[in-house]
Structure 1
């Protein structure tokens, strides 16, 4: 797995539909395998494109556009797909295997030999090309050495969380869940090396049964098969989305997920950064809210050129540049800092150096920095990491469904990604950058941040109170109350659905948002202020399923759930 292997211890349809050159498809190299390598080919412009920023629904989903609109982020020429005419001309070059295009970089990822690459570079609209893997396709290097496993420990004091209690409690996720925020309505993309067992393990049963596993995409093989390869992705996904009460609970157990394999684990080349870019653009187009990436890049297999610390300046590495754009389009990018703290490198690795993302370091259960956790600052002097969380003896889920423990910023990253999901769910009007800022301000070192732990350990309650000074969490009524509920529950067919209001939600205009089990906003209505104790909700057009209903009076929120048969 790229770089972070040593961290271990234990337009959507168009993207998938792009064909390779005849007879030379991905995974089936031609007779010139020995010389075929992947390259990132940059175009000079997007001339002749049929796409327009005035009609973004041609290449961005409705959810992606809603995310931008909420944050007042304009659709820019950067977001336009590459020119189809350029794509066709590149594909027409004999010997080219066409893999992907990149909107943000205005580029294409192709595989070909060096002679064919010269022909591609001679095309009048091609600006430059960058080789992404120097080893022959299909060759493999040995995986990097893993850190020694941490000793197993006694389960947490809250039986509901099992061994995951300490990591959830440390960042306030237990209080977040008690308040009713478990990631409902939020979409998280996880980039990693593989997810074996996610399709079978009991910890992920509700994720599968609720329909919250929205899609899978193996960027390495250009397929939808992700339940294979390295189990690092399974470990990280469980920390966020694991949901088996009285055994294991993640930090956002009711979020919806999109899973991506971007890592070709046996080797170490910049092509994996290009895969990260492809996944990030896919996530953007799908309307993802949060990217959780426990990945990093600094040293590559020879003869690919490795990065230097000077390159960790926020503008050099492919993955860093991709993460920066992902942040610019309104996603919260959460990325591991790296495990180089005890090595000669010592510092963060790409894309942890990116501007405007949340880089996560590792601490132990007492909030002391882990020796292996990569340190800041960036090469251009910016504070990193942004925050830290439990990355020592973190409870993780194995591919076989067992619960064990491991060390690494790979594991502190998803702890924080789940925290981001619940906090943003609780404060849906915030922008991505406001979410990051408030969580930083909630940190244990917020008044004196450093380049070991950043702003320290973030905390849901502190961040919530900063975002809601007029109704702090400590003094407000519980989000779910016995005198605030919907009925009948479940409802059937065209039955009327009613909302019983407590005293605090009467005589105030209400905003009601309904989310399905996949996290999509499926209904929204405004209710005029009334002194009545009961109001009618419009659920007639909803399909059968499980729904989360978030009700706001402008000062605070209530959460109720119901089932439609």
Structure 2
């Protein structure tokens, strides 16, 4: 068993000190100079990573490096000697989150092992030792105020995905939010608790195992992808495994934010990585803070500047698919997506109404460096969700369109486990209804699972006004076939197949094709991923995406 708890929470050290924070203490991140003389080795990764986390790195050809090693325990001991109390550590940033007096930090910064420190929030908040919490699940029957679950499912073709047996089973999703109030008190989540699908939990805002408090925003979010109550509220990936992490501090009903919440997100992402999650689902975004010195500018929307964006990018590099909301700034002064939606590898999700129109509040792109965002959209108005008073009602926001996509991703990944996170993102984009013309309003549009399996007139495998069908798709063998579906005036057909790296791997020219003809195209290339088949006849041209796994 990996020793995640010992490397993420150094509470044993803190507990020896007792607790009684001084009034002038605040919260900081302390960054260390190196990881010299670590007791851990990249040659023994099971000491600090789960087997699933290791396997995921192998899958995406990501080497285990010094970045993955825990923070040097000797450095943490030294912090304590200088009256600086550490609570959490970040392997990726080689840092510790502390509560301390700035005067003590000014002394500490003179030491060789400390690189720098950063003020991230006022006051003290963390429990000196992790507060335990024993779950007592009580499956109360919910009241139904209103429900739109069927609409949000069918818009994505997820009912077809479920009918084929792909419900997210075996896919581990970490949800990072502000609280999961009353999730442990509703029959909507009975399958999660009764089937052992809750794998991990932590409230990083207070250092507690109780995540079922504070706020029901995370409860809303979780229900969109993992709820399962009769036919009233069905999540897009309801059989997924889940880990629940509170990173957003909503204490005292405050919406005021500090940079610490970005660092909480980082800590949760690292823990999620260590325990072996496949997907991070987050309906949080940051741009401005109560302390205006922490504010970001629109120029910082480059996927590389914000703390949370750096964290999301690192999680993606480790093979995790990160799905996040675009933000609700579309009709505000900011207008643009919020961090970490600016990260290239992140699946950024905007919102539309049930009639397919972009929601006015849904944040837009592009990123500061000119990339198209959001990536896709889903229903974000009148979304059916669970509320903390144990009712099923509705809510609005990209916060709820995002988990719908995360659940869809879980189902597709269950079906195609060989895909990497990058390939899965490409596949989701390719089944969007705006894929041929992505823009900074709705991205690649609304994905639909039925396009993936040729089960709809919307299928991207039917081209030239349904003149052709390309099959099988996805494919594993050494050939694909093209069926001529309608009388086509015996015109010539030119076919070219391009591999995922853009290399031309197959060419064929057919003279005077007619209805009923089947053209077989040999595929000698064996790379996995997304292929592009180009069909041209006369002045008509169409590109078709094909998945090989």
What is the aligned partner in structure 1 of residue 116 from structure 2?
128
SS in 2 for 1:320: helix
Counterpart-to-counterpart distance in 1, 2:168 and 2:14: 42
TM-score of the aligned structures, taking structure 2 as reference length: 0.77
Q: What are the equivalent positions in structure 2 for 1:109-508 lying under 5 Å apart?
A: 109-133=97-121, 135-137=122-124, 163-265=148-250, 266=254, 267-302=256-291, 304-463=293-452, 470-472=471-473
State the shift of 1:464 in Å: 5.2
What is the aligned partner in structure 2 of residue 502 from structure 1?
none
Counterpart-to-counterpart distance in 2, 1:40 and 1:210: 38
Matched, 1:93 2:82: yes
Contact 2:452 2:473 in 1 (8 A): no
Contact 2:79 2:85 in 1 (8 A): no
Contact 1:439 1:463 in 2 (8 A): no
State the shift of 1:463 in Å: 3.7
What is the aligned partner in structure 2 of residue 536 from structure 1?
none
Counterpart-to-counterpart distance in 2, 1:199 and 1:92: 41
Over 3 Å counting, the alpha-carbon distance change for 1:425 and 1:114 in structure 2 is same
> Is the deviation greater in 329-338 or in 14-23?
14-23
Counterpart-to-counterpart distance in 2, 1:170 and 1:154: 22
Measured against aligned partners, the alpha-carbon deviations of 1:4-52 in whole angstroms (never above 9, x if no partner) come to: xxxxxxx422123533546766xx542x22x211111111211111222
SS in 1 for 2:316: helix
Q: Which runs of 5+ in 2 are unaligned?
A: 127-143, 455-459, 462-469, 476-546
Counterpart-to-counterpart distance in 2, 1:394 and 1:304: 36
Contact 1:471 1:556 in 2 (8 A): no
Contact 1:19 1:98 in 2 (8 A): no
Counterpart-to-counterpart distance in 2, 1:83 and 1:247: 50
State the shift of 1:303 in Å: 5.1
Root mean square deviation, CA, Å: 2.4
Larger radius of gyration: 2
Counterpart-to-counterpart distance in 2, 1:59 and 1:154: 46
Q: Which runs of 5+ in 1 are unaligned?
A: 1-10, 140-152, 156-161, 475-554, 558-565
After the TM superposition, which parts of structure 1 deviate over 6 Å for at least 4 consecutive aligned residues? none
State the shift of 1:366 in Å: 1.9
User: Which of 7, 11, 20 pairs up with 1:18?
Assistant: 11
SS in 2 for 1:382: coil
Counterpart-to-counterpart distance in 2, 1:305 and 1:233: 25
State the shift of 1:556 in Å: 11
Contact 1:461 1:473 in 2 (8 A): no
State the shift of 1:154 in Å: 10
Matched, 1:76 2:65: yes
SS in 2 for 1:280: helix
Measured against aligned partners, the alpha-carbon deviations of 1:125-178 in whole angstroms (never above 9, x if no partner) come to: 111111111x33469xxxxxxxxxxxxx997xxxxxx53111111111111101
